[in-house]
Amino acid sequence: MAVTLVEGKRVVVCCGPGGVGKTSVSAAVALGLAATGARVVLVALDPTGRLAGTLGLEQLSNEPSRVSPERLASVETTVEGQLWAMTVERKQTFDDLVDGVIADPGRAHEIKSNRIYRELSCAIAGSQEFAAVARLFELERSGRFDVIVLDTPPSRSALDLLRAPGRLRAFLDSRALHAFKGRAGILGRGAARLLGVFGRLSGVELIADASTFFQLLGEITDEMGTRAVAADALLRASTTGFLLITVAEPAPVEETVWLARTLKDSALRTAGVVVNRMPGRSNLGELRRRFRPHDPILTVPDLRREVERIDDLWELHRHLFDLRGQPVLGRP
C-alpha cells in the first residue's frame, strides 16, 4: 500500500539534524514530484555548490531557475512536470519587499540605499529566516508552482524559521520600536546605543539616515506585519507538511525525536520521517518506537558514494517513490 505522505501538500519542508542528507533527499523529493507531472520549485536555504552542479545550474539565485528536461530525464523515466531551483538572498528579498510596498521608485531607491536599512535588514535577529518565510509566502501566492520543497539548514535554524513570523511581529509591535519611530529626529539614549554599531558614520550622517530609516519603518511595518501573519498561517496550513530527515544513529535520532515533538507542540504537521543512509539489515523496531505510531517512516540506503549526479537523485527517488508508478510520497 502506498503511503502518500505528501499527497495534497503545496509546501513540503525538509528538516533535520546537520549532515544527514536533507539537501540530497529534498532534491530527490522535488525530482519525484516533478516526475508525477507537478511544477515544483526546490528552495535551498543554504545551498551547496554541489546541488547546483547536480541540477546542471551554474548557481542558485534569488529567482527560480528551471532545470532542463534533458538533464532531469533518466534512462527509464521522462519528467512530465517541471523542476525549478533557487535560494533565498536576504538582502534581495527585503529590497523586493520595499519595492512592493513603496509605490514611488525614487523613494524606494532612497530607502534601499539607506545605510541603516542596509545594515539592519541583515542584522536583526531572525531576518534571514523571515526573508525565507516571506519568500515562501510569495512563491505560494504567485501560483507559478504546484509544490514548493524547502530544504532547510540544520534543526535549530529550521525552528528559527518557524518562529520567524512571530518574532518579527513581536519586534514590530515592540515598545522600543514605537519609541524610536516616535522621535525620529531627536535620538534618545537607547536609540543612540542601538545605533552605536554605526559608529563609523558621523553624527550628522547618522541622524539623517536614522530619520529616513524610521520614516521607512512607519511606511512598511503594516505590510511586514500582514506578511508575518500570512506566512505564519502558511506554515500551519493543512497543505504544508514537514518531512523529518535523519540517519539511524543515536544522536541524530534523539534530535529528530525532539524536533518531531516540537513540531507537534507548535501544531505543525509532520508528514513523515526519512531515515537516510540506512545500513543493510537494520532493525526498524527501535526507531519506530521512538517516533509517534502515526509518523510514517521511510528508509533510504547508503549509496556508498556522494550524491552528486542526477542519477544519484533518481536512485534516492526509487526508495522514496514506489517503482510501479505509485508514488510513496504521494501526488500533489
Ligand X SMILES: Nc1ncnc2c1ncn2[C@@H]1O[C@H](COP(=O)(O)OP(=O)(O)OP(=O)(O)O)[C@@H](O)[C@H]1O
Least separation in angstroms between residue 316's CB and ligand X is 6
Tell whether residue 23 is a contact of Mg ion (CB under 5 A).
yes
Q: Give the residue among 83, 18, 87, 15 at the shortest CA–CA distance from 48.
A: 87
Distance separating alpha carbons of residues 114 and 125, to the nearest angstrom: 19
Q: Which is nearer to ligand X, 244 or 316 (CB)?
A: 316
Q: Which residues pair with 59 in a beta bridge?
A: none
Q: Which is nearer to ligand X, 23 or 93 (CB)?
A: 23
Burial code of 269-290, b = ≥16 C-beta within 10 A, e = fewer?
bbbbbbbbbbeeeeeeeebeee
Least separation in angstroms between residue 316's CB and Mg ion is 14
Q: Give the residue among 259, 304, 319, 180 at the shortest CA–CA distance from 14.
A: 259
Least separation in angstroms between residue 306's CB and ligand X is 4
Tell whether residue 300 is a contact of ligand X (CB under 6 A).
yes
Tell whether residue 286 is a contact of ligand X (CB under 6 A).
no
Tell whether residue 306 is a contact of ligand X (CB under 6 A).
yes
Residue 310 binds which of ligand X, Mg ion, none (CB < 5-8 A, kind-dependent): none
Least separation in angstroms between residue 153's CB and Mg ion is 7
Q: Which is nearer to ligand X, 40 or 102 (CB)?
A: 40
Tell whether residue 20 is a contact of ligand X (CB under 6 A).
yes
SS3 275: strand
Least separation in angstroms between residue 146's CB and ligand X is 24
Sheet hosting strand 65-66, strand order edge to edge: 65-66, 82-86, 39-44, 147-151, 11-15, 240-247, 270-278, 297-301
Binding segment for ligand X (CB under 6 A), chosen from 52-60, 91-99, 234-242, 299-307, is 299-307
- 213's enclosing H/E stretch is helix 203-236
Residue 307 binds which of Mg ion, ligand X, none (CB < 5-8 A, kind-dependent): ligand X
Tell whether residue 26 is a contact of Mg ion (CB under 5 A).
no
Q: Give the residue among 180, 158, 157, 160 at the shortest CA–CA distance from 168.
A: 160
Tell whether residue 30 is a contact of ligand X (CB under 6 A).
no
- 12's enclosing H/E stretch is strand 11-15
Q: Note the residues at the interface with ligand X (CB under 6 A).
A: 18-24, 48, 154, 276-277, 300, 302-303, 306-307, 316
